[in-house]
Amino acid sequence: MTQFTSDRLLLFGATGDLSRRMLLPSLCALDAEGLLGPDIEIIGTARSDMDDQGFRNFARESLEQFLPAGRRGSLAQFLNRLSYQPLDANDIDSFHALAEKVGTPKQGLSIFLSTAPSLFEPTIHGLEKSGLASGNVRIGLEKPLGVDLASSKVINDAVASAFPEDRIFRIDHYLGKETVQNILALRFANLMFEPLWNAAHIDHVQITVAETVGLESRVAYYDDSGALRDMVQNHMLQLLALVAMEPPVSYNATSIRNEKVKVLHSLRKVKPEETVTGQYRAGAITGKAVPGYDEELGKDSNTETFVAIKGFIDNWRWQGVPFYMRTGKRLPKRTTEIVVQFRDVPHSIFHGRGARTVPNRLVIGIQPEENITLSLMAKVPGLDRDGYGLRSVPLAITRPDAFADHQRRIAYERLLLDLIEGDQTLFVRRDEVEAQWEWIDAIRSGWEEQAQEPKTYTAGSWGPSAAIALAERDGVTWHE
Ligand code: BG6
């Protein structure tokens, strides 16, 4: 691992949406807490023609809109760290001007690249030619990194020609979320789950990432991508890997990523009938009418805005345990959660007394509710003259209550700081990305072979009824 803390940060796509909503607010919040280091300079670059002051004005507006006043600290101090250099990624002279603007870092430079896929190769080339890829430079890469295994290899090869893997930081912003990192704490800092965390004791796992938003302003990107590539290939497979991996040797980038990649390599090829795709039609979200996908897009399309998958992991621990995953736009509520459904007790002593046991269930709420709930069986108080009473009751930890004195953070705060300081643990390694794409590509070719078209669902519903049937066929109900 490269051990230097960068004193320069170069943001590509600095005037884009991600920068406005996430990156600049995250950096400002870190600075307000004194976490950025006193000398750090942040250089923004993008196509827009702007000077330093123009960028500072842009940043000020973004911060006022997207960062609560209480987290801004001394805005002037943060804005003073910012400068800007316009760039044409296809013009090598432009990169020389950029290198001049960046100057010579005292310790090192971190680059955050969120750029259109078509500009990837010229950008890497420009960085290399202008000396912005030397030994004390590391690079963070934002998605989309390709649309399939082949295109992701082209991008990864281009990056690898200029940066070694230990200086490449592939971002999956879900790994920056506290509640996602908490999966590791829950599993490996407690004794009680791990002995039960296997096919002998777990009936199935559900992973849901539901969104209420539609296309937003990302028309071109989303229609070429669809839910499978936009959400499953990255975020959902990372959640699955964290839930399913073997205990790592220690908390470091190599150990954790070694275990995740083993899970990703063990994913069984999915049959087309184990997937359901959908596309939303006009409907209502929390009482407000919303248009259908085609109408938002302005043309007909076969892109899926919903996908449900029944997956399996072919290894000793998980043999035969279904992992039901679903994600979609315009669903009834925004929620990301993981449900671990345990098996029933092998023999119930209460059976003869007319009481039924309900299997335990662990629900890990990732967002917006950050709760962990374990359902346990308990005796219903009473004298039991009409039979023994048992009821499933929740044992709940509400993170906002348990950690009320802790700041809620934007996922990118953690990721940007780790990039600046050079810790790769929460970034995705090349072999992980490629294993993810391999599994996704096989699903897509199955759809193509069968000419599978997305089923329709009404905006505000939980997707096509076939997605409900996918689980119900196995006697499983999606947790809502
Ligand atoms: C992004 C997807 O990676 O994640 C978006 O491209 C999606 O389509 C977003 O809306 C969801 O992120 P979060 O943090 O809001 O769950």
Instruction: Return the minimum-mean-pLDDT range out of 103-117, 163-177, 258-272, 427-441.
Output: 103-117
Q: Whose CA is nearest to atom 15 of ligand 1?
A: 211
Q: Whose CA is nearest to atom 14 of ligand 1?
A: 174
166 and 191 share a domain? no
Residues in CB range of 150: below 8 A, 6 or more apart: none
Q: Which ligand 1 atom is the nearest neighbour of the CA of 221? A: 6
Pairing state between β 137-141 and 109-113: parallel
Q: Tell me phi and psi for residue 395, to 5 degrees.
A: -105, 110
Contact (CB, 8 A) for 55 and 82? yes
Q: How confident is the model at residue 113 (pLDDT cuts 50, 70, 90)?
A: very high
pLDDT of residue 439 exceeding 80: yes
Burial class (CB in 10 A: 0-12, 13-18, 19+), 348: middle
pLDDT of residue 219: 82
State which residues form the domain around 13.
8-170
Specify whether 181 is located in the same domain as 294: yes
Q: Are 99 and 132 in contact (CB under 8 A)?
A: yes
Residue 165 lies in a domain: yes
Residues 6+ apart with CB under 8 A from 187: 193, 194, 197, 243, 247
Residues 25 and 160 in one domain: yes
Tell me, yes or no, whether 84 and 109 share the same domain: yes
Query: Same structural domain for residues 328 and 185?
Result: yes
End residue of a domain, out of 170, 186, 212: 170
The alpha carbon of 174 and the centre of ligand 1 are apart by a number of angstroms equal to: 9
- Given 170, 190, 207, which residue is the final one in a domain? 170
Strands lying side by side in the sheet with 361-367: 390-398, 371-379, 361-367, 335-342, 202-210, 323-328, 306-311, 275-281, 455-458
- Report if residue 373 sits inside a domain: no
What mean pLDDT do residues 84-94 have? 96
pLDDT band, residue 279 (cuts 50/70/90): very high
* 317 Cα to the center of ligand 1, angstroms: 30
CA of 172 to the centre of ligand 1 (A): 10
User: Is the pLDDT reported for residue 1 higher than 60?
Assistant: no
Helix axes 92-102, 120-129, angle to 10 degrees: 60
CA–CA gap between residue 476 and residue 480 (Å, rounded) = 12
Q: Whose CA is nearest to atom 8 of ligand 1?
A: 230
For residues 8 and 40, the answer to whether their CB atoms sit within 8 Å is yes
- pLDDT mean over 265-279: 97
Question: Which tens digits make up the pLDDT trace of 167-188?
Answer: 999 999 999 999 999 999 999 9
Residue 69's nearest CA partner among 40, 34, 32, 41 is 32
Residue 86 lies in a domain: yes
Confidence grade of residue 307 (pLDDT, cut at 50, 70, 90): very high
Peptide bond into 105 cis (omega under 30): no
pTM of the model: 0.97
Q: Are residues 155 and 282 in the same domain?
A: no
**Ligand 1, atom 4: closest residue by C-alpha:** 231
Do 308 and 228 share a structural domain? yes
Q: What is the pLDDT of residue 407?
A: 81
Distance 419 CA to ligand 1 centre (A): 20
- Check residue 134 and report its DSSP letter: S
The answer to whether residue 366 is domain-embedded is: no
Confidence (pLDDT) at 397: 85
User: 184: part of which helix (H) or strand (E)?
Assistant: helix 178-188
CA 365 to mean position of chain CA atoms:
14
Average pLDDT on 229-251 reads: 98
How confident is the model at residue 401, as a pLDDT? 78
Ligand 1 atom nearest to CA at 143: 3
Ligand 1 atom closest to the CA of 174, numbered from 1 = 14
- 117 and 24 in one domain? yes
Domain boundary (170, 188, 205) is at 170
Pocket test for ligand 1, best of 17, 170, 207, 211 (most atoms within 8 A of CB): 211
Residue 118: its pLDDT value, please?
83
Residues 120 and 189 placed together within one structural domain of the fold: no
The confidence score (pLDDT) of residue 400 equals 76
pLDDT range class, residue 314, cuts 50, 70, 90 = very high
Residue 153 has pLDDT above 60, yes or no: yes
Of 338, 344, 311, 318, the closest CA to residue 199 belongs to 318
Is the pLDDT reported for residue 2 higher than 60? no
pLDDT given for residue 333 in this prediction: 96
Q: 195 and 62: one domain?
A: no
H or E element: which one contains 143? none
Confidence of residue 4 (pLDDT cuts 50, 70, 90): confident
* DSSP symbols for 296-322: HHTS-----SEEEEEE-B-STTTTT--
Alpha-carbon dihedral angle through residues 211, 214, 215, 221, given to the nearest 10 degrees: 30
pLDDT of res. 216: 84
Of residues 16, 2, 28, the one with CA closest to residue 410: 28
Pocket test for ligand 1, best of 208, 217, 222, 230 (most atoms within 8 A of CB): 230
Mean pLDDT of 432-447: 97
pLDDT of the residue at 392: 96
- Within a domain: 273: yes
**Residues 166, 189 share a domain:** no
Ligand 1 environment, Cβ below 6 A: 211, 230
Q: How many C-beta atoms lie closer than 10 Å to residue 301's C-beta?
A: 17
303 and 203 in one domain? yes
Element (H, E) at 251: none
CA separation, residue 302 to residues 64, 111, 447, 456 (Å): 39, 36, 12, 10
Contact assessment for residue 376 and residue 360, using Cβ atoms and an 8 Å cutoff: yes
- CATH number (domain holding residue 163): 3.40.50.720
Record the tokens describing residue 328, joined without a space.
Answer: 């979609």
Q: Whose CA is nearest to atom 6 of ligand 1?
A: 230
Query: Which residues are catalytically annotated?
Result: 235
Q: Residue 466 belongs to a domain with what CATH number?
A: 3.30.360.10
Residue 451, in any domain of the structure: yes
CB 412 within 8 A of CB 176: yes
Say if 133 falls within a structural domain: yes
Task: Share the mean pLDDT of the chain.
Answer: 95
In angstroms, what is the span from residue 183 Cα to ligand 1's centroid?
Answer: 19
pLDDT digits (tens, 9 = 90+) for 32-64: 999 998 999 999 999 999 999 999 999 999 999
Atom of ligand 1 nearest to the CA of 177: 14
Determine the 3-state secondary structure of 21 from DSSP.
Answer: helix
Indicate whether 480 belongs to any domain: no
Q: What is the mean pLDDT of residues 142-165?
A: 95
258-294 CB burial, b ≥16 within 10 A, e <16: bbbbbbbbbbeebeeebbbbbbbbbbebeeeebbbbb
Reading the block at residue 414, the tokens are 């953690």
Instruction: Report the domain count for the chain.
Output: 2
Q: Tokens 């280091």 identify what position?
A: 37
Cα separations in angstroms, 155 against 63, 160, 416, 436: 32, 8, 22, 15
